Amino acid sequence: MEDKKEEKPKRGRPAKEKEKLNCSINLKLTEKDLGLIKEKAEKIGMKATQYAREMVLKVGVKSRFTLEELDLMRKLSGIANNLNQIAKKANQAGYIAESINIMGMMIRIKRILDDR
């Protein structure tokens, strides 16, 4: 008689092979920071090293500014410096109205730079 226990085809995706963690990074922390990491890891039932690894690999680091934004800010700062020099010369020459307009433009440029 045939064996009744035939192997059924497995469902779902195959199990992923476990990768051995054999590389390390030395990370220096204050005791306070280490305690905070351990506390957060414990709250979600993880080891501190596992928690730190997940945070580094999944969350990532966001740049404060893109290279394009840095370039634009550099150019805008140059324009503001030029306006400042023009305002100074206009003020020295007695062109008060022009000087005030230029100063207003400089203030708007500085606000744009500070908002970012």
Instruction: Work out how many domains the chain is built from and give that number.
Output: 2
Q: Is residue 76 part of a domain?
A: yes
User: Amino acid letter at 86?
Assistant: I
Same-domain status, 51 and 82: no
Read off the amino acid at residue 15. A
In a domain, 21, yes or no: no
Q: What is the pLDDT along the chain (116 residues), one digit of tens a residue?
A: 555 566 777 777 777 778 888 888 888 999 999 999 999 889 889 899 988 888 888 876 666 778 888 888 898 888 888 888 888 888 788 888 887 888 888 888 888 877 76
Q: Looking at the structure, do residues 73 and 108 belong to the same domain, yes or no? A: yes
Residue 109 lies in a domain: yes
Say if residue 53 is in the same domain as residue 76.
no
| Closest-CA residue to 110 (of 87, 89, 79, 88) | 79
* Alpha carbon distance 18, 58 (integer Å): 18
Residue 6 lies in a domain: no
Task: State the pLDDT at residue 56.
Answer: 86
Look up the domain containing 33 and give its range.
28-61
Query: 3-state DSSP call for residue 99?
Result: helix
